[in-house]
């Protein structure tokens, strides 16, 4: 389990963050100057160079969002102009993409971050530019909400696998619906029937909490507190839950750690979002106490599982039930080894989870649960202390990634395996790099006593 460093303070990581941003800028510039856009959007590296892998175009927003985050952290305007220009030129198809569930990834990372910078005074106010970003977010959220599967207990935004499929990943993309709702967008169907974007977002979060997260009781009494399934399968005829499944994990009865990390990050940031909603907005959907309770329960459970089932340094292997983990011996009692002979680690899961751990910790501390909050907060810092240095920080000028030892799709064998190695290691992913930058920016703002970073800072409040 993770060996939590309770002595770490955010300022202890200041030097690491400074080095991180210096290297990060070099990586972004290298991709911009050298990547062949004719191949499609960059997804992950092979021998240190970004390449693509067709599934869906879910990573392009991370590419340009990274440049925007780099500007926010460093003030270097060339990165703002890069992110701004590419968002206008390239991102429009992602707004209206009816075939994916990843709107929060692509569009909140670009249009959302640009609008946030304007609201925070880091971009000069411009009414038409502001309206452009707002319209993009309004439509993105409604397009995502149209991917709707009704079930007996509510409904969910289905994955690109089809209407039967609930992905745990999508908890983080609920930001798109929430922003569209708060921007005042009216989502309509046949006969001008108005559909509540808030209702769909909350229903999806509830379905994720109920079916993607296990609590060791009731339906999943055979299981343990906080485990997650990548995919939950439903009968679309009668709306009943059928079974857990996995696409990128080992099985539906083991935990794919990046899926776990999406839940760890998604629940706490949606808990934070509830603070800007009025009680009367939440009352039709069970009320604030009920909603906060199921979100908080899922957030605690997933964070607890991560702490208990991750090596001491806070970097997980790609799946907690990966078939060859047993060959590593007592792997939870020592730091993760990305160069082992049996199973890859996934540093991108660590970067994603760290942000959720920090957010949950701060949320509980502000609620008066100081001891519990400090546990999660300090765990988040412990994870960042590990990944913001070698062997996870990419220092080579010839490697285009910033966060090393990320894994894309182990079951499909999509990851680059170096010659002579039995496993993939040493590579980066666009989502891993983006989330490393995002959590670095989150912590940087804490250190600088800057505006607290949330996805909804882009709203007029």
Q: What is the CATH number of the domain that holds 312?
A: 1.50.10.10
Number of Cα atoms under 13 Å in the Cβ half of residue 375 = 11
Give dist(CA 154, CA 177) in Å, integer. 16
Residue 234 lies in a domain: yes
Pairing verdict, β 194-195 and 187-188: antiparallel
Tens of pLDDT along the chain (461 residues)? 999 999 999 999 999 999 999 999 999 999 999 999 888 889 999 999 999 976 667 889 999 999 999 999 999 999 999 999 999 999 999 999 988 888 899 999 999 999 999 999 999 999 999 999 999 999 999 999 999 999 999 999 999 999 999 999 999 989 999 999 999 999 999 999 999 999 999 999 999 999 999 999 998 899 999 999 999 999 999 999 999 999 999 999 999 999 999 999 999 999 999 999 999 999 999 999 999 999 999 999 999 999 999 999 999 999 999 999 999 999 999 999 999 999 999 999 999 999 999 999 999 999 999 999 999 999 999 999 999 999 999 999 999 999 999 999 999 999 999 999 999 999 999 999 999 999 999 999 999 999 999 999 999 97
Total domains in the chain come to 1
Pairing verdict, β 148-151 and 154-157: antiparallel
Residue 407 lies in a domain: yes
Residue 3 lies in a domain: no
Q: Give the C-alpha distances (Å, rounded to integers) separating 378 from 365, 373, 386.
A: 12, 9, 13
Contact status, residue 297 vs residue 277, Cβ threshold 8 Å = no
Residue 14 lies in a domain: yes
The sheet carrying 231-235 orders its strands as 165-167, 231-235, 240-245
Give dist(CA 315, CA 101) in Å, integer. 27
pTM of the model: 0.98
Domain span holding position 134: 10-458
DSSP assigned state of 449: T
Helices (H) and strands (E) in the chain, counts: 15, 9
Residue 1 lies in a domain: no
Residue 258 lies in a domain: yes
Residue 4 lies in a domain: no
- The alpha-carbon radius of gyration of the chain (Å, integer) is 21
Give dist(CA 14, CA 387) in Å, integer. 14
Residue 200 lies in a domain: yes
Quote the tokens at residue 12.
């202890």
Q: Give the C-alpha distances (Å, rounded to integers) separating 180 from 25, 132, 187.
A: 31, 13, 9
The CB density around residue 39, as the number of other CB atoms within 10 Å, is: 11
DSSP assigned state of 254: S
């Amino acid at each position: 389990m993770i060996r939590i460093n309770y002595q770490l303070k955010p300022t202890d990581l200041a030097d690491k963050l400074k080095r991180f941003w210096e290297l990060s800028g070099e990586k972004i510039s290298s991709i911009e100057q050298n990547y062949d856009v004719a191949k499609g959007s960059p997804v992950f590296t092979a021998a240190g160079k970004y390449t693509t892998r067709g599934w869906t175009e879910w990573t392009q927003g991370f590419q340009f969002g990274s440049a925007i985050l780099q500007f926010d952290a460093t003030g270097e305007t060339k990165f703002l102009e890069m992110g701004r220009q590419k968002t206008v030129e390239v991102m429009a198809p992602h707004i209206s993409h009816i075939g994916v569930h990843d709107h929060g990834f692509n569009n909140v990372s670009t249009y959302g971050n640009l609008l946030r910078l304007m609201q925070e005074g880091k971009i000069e106010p411009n009414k038409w530019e502001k309206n452009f970003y707002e319209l993009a977010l309004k439509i993105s959220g409604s397009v995502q909400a149209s991917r709707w599967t009704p079930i007996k207990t509510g409904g969910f935004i289905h994955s690109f696998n089809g209407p039967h499929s609930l992905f745990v990943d999508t908890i983080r993309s609920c930001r798109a619906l929430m922003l569209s709702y708060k921007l005042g967008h009216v989502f309509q169907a046949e006969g001008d029937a108005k559909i509540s974007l808030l209702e769909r977002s909350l229903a999806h979060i509830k379905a994720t909490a109920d079916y993607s997260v296990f609590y060791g009781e009731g339906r999943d009494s055979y299981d343990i507190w906080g485990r997650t399934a990548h995919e939950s399968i439903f009968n679309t005829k009668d709306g009943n839950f059928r079974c857990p499944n996995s696409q990128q994990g080992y099985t539906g009865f083991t935990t794919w750690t990046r899926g776990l990390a999406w839940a760890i990050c998604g629940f706490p940031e949606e808990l934070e979002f509830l603070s800007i909603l009025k009680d009367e907005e939440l009352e039709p959907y069970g009320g604030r106490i009920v909603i906060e309770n199921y979100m908080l329960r899922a957030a605690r459970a997933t964070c607890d599982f991560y702490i208990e089932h991750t090596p001491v340094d806070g970097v997980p292997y790609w799946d907690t039930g990966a078939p060859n983990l047993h060959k590593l011996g007592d792997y939870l009692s020592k730091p993760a080894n990305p160069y082992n002979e049996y199973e890859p680690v996934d540093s991108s899961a660590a970067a994603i989870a760290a942000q959720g751990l920090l957010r949950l910790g701060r949320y509980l501390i502000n609620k008066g649960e100081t001891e519990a909050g400090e546990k999660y907060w300090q765990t988040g810092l412990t994870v960042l202390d590990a990944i913001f240095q070698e062997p996870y920080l990419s220092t080579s000028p010839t490697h285009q990634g910033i966060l090393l030892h990320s894994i894309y799709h182990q079951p499909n064998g999509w990851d680059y395996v170096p010659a002579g190695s039995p496993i993939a290691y040493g590579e980066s992913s666009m989502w891993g790099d983006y989330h490393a930058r995002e959590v670095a920016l989150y912590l940087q703002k804490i250190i600088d006593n800057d505006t607290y970073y949330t996805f909804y800072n882009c709203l007029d409040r």
